[in-house]
A = this chain, B = another copy of it.
Amino acid sequence: MTPTLRVDIWSDIACPWCYIGQARFEKALADFEAADNVEVVWHSYQLDPTLPERFDGSEVDYLVESKGMARDQVEQMTAQVAAAARGENLPIDFDAVIPANSVRAHYLLTTIARHDGDVDKAEHALFAAHFAHGEAISDDEVLVRIGTECGLSEDQARAGLADDTIHAEVQGDFATARSIGISGVPFFVFGEKYAVSGAQPPELFAQALERTWSELQPAKLITLDSDAGEACGPAGCN
């Protein structure tokens, strides 16, 4: 029986480093020998629960007006993030971004997971909608369209967005993140044991995959010394 390597990822659609982190993680995963045995489990996180459903202005305006950050500081930050995104071939366009509360996007993701849809693809699609295409990730029509691209019927998508048990599951993810001390995203946990915080380079994700995978091999009794020790066997003692 081959074990499964579980990777839990806490992420927010409104988080550009989560977008970049997904790309870097998936680069490592594509090169990983046991990629078929990896199960990725996405979890919801919200950087800013106070965000209105849709803010009328740019991302920079929102951060300046509501968070009291200096405009040049915000612009420097977005420029740095956009440059890093280009390095991963992710076209972030901060001028087009619509600041919008991400909680309904998390409802959609949880609905897709419940119906065994393609959550990885939905994360990509939501990040692209938000950061590249200037779509509001709080908009039902955007969400339903992405849901139907990722395994849901339109009815399932709409029902999920309004489902109290889905809402509770998303809140449960927020609570778990608090309980294990997550204070920023993306946040990766490999094999329920090793944490990788942030959009690390693919090499680090590769290391985490290799290490966790090697520890998951239950039948491989690893002899911790290259020399066999002194022992007695059927032919006597050496």
- How far is B95's CA from A109's CA once the two chains are assembled, in angstroms? 76
A1 at interface, CB cutoff 8 A = no
Tally of this chain's copies: 2
Chain A 213-238 interface mask (CB, 8 Å, partner B; 1/0): 00100101111110011111110111
- From B12, B20, B200, B221, A193 is in contact (CB under 8 Å) with B221
Nearest chain B residue, comparing its CB with the CB of A11: B232
Closest to A16 in B: B237
Give Cα distance in the complex from A233 to B189, angstroms.
Answer: 17
Inter-chain contacts of A77 with B (CB < 8 A): 236-238
User: By the criterion of a CB under 8 Å from any partner CB, how many residues of chain A are at the interface?
Assistant: 54
Residues of chain B contacted by A74 (CB below 8 angstroms):
236
Within 8 A of B (CB), among A1-45: 12, 15-18, 20-21
Contact, CB under 8 Å: B237 / A81 = yes
Q: What chain B residues lie within 8 Å of A20 (beta carbons)?
A: 230
Q: Which residues of B contact A192 (CB under 8 A)?
A: 218
Q: Please state if B180 and A221 are interface contacts (CB–CB under 8 Å).
A: yes
Measured between beta carbons, the chain B residues less than 8 angstroms from A183 are 233-234
Interface string of A185-222 (1 = CB under 8 A from B): 11101001111111110001001100100010010111
Is the pair A198, B237 in contact by a Cβ cutoff of 8 Å? no
| Complex A-B: 25 CB contacts under 8 Å | A12-B232, A15-B237, A17-B231, A17-B237, A21-B229, A21-B231, A47-B233, A67-B236, A69-B236, A74-B236, A81-B237, A185-B231, A187-B231, A193-B215, A194-B221, A194-B223, A195-B221, A195-B223, A196-B224, A197-B231, A198-B228, A198-B229, A199-B231, A200-B229, A204-B224
Query: Which residues of A does B touch, CB under 8 Å?
Result: 12, 15-18, 20-21, 47-48, 63, 67, 69, 74, 77, 81, 84, 180, 183-187, 189, 192-200, 204, 207-208, 211, 215, 218, 220-225, 228-234, 236-238
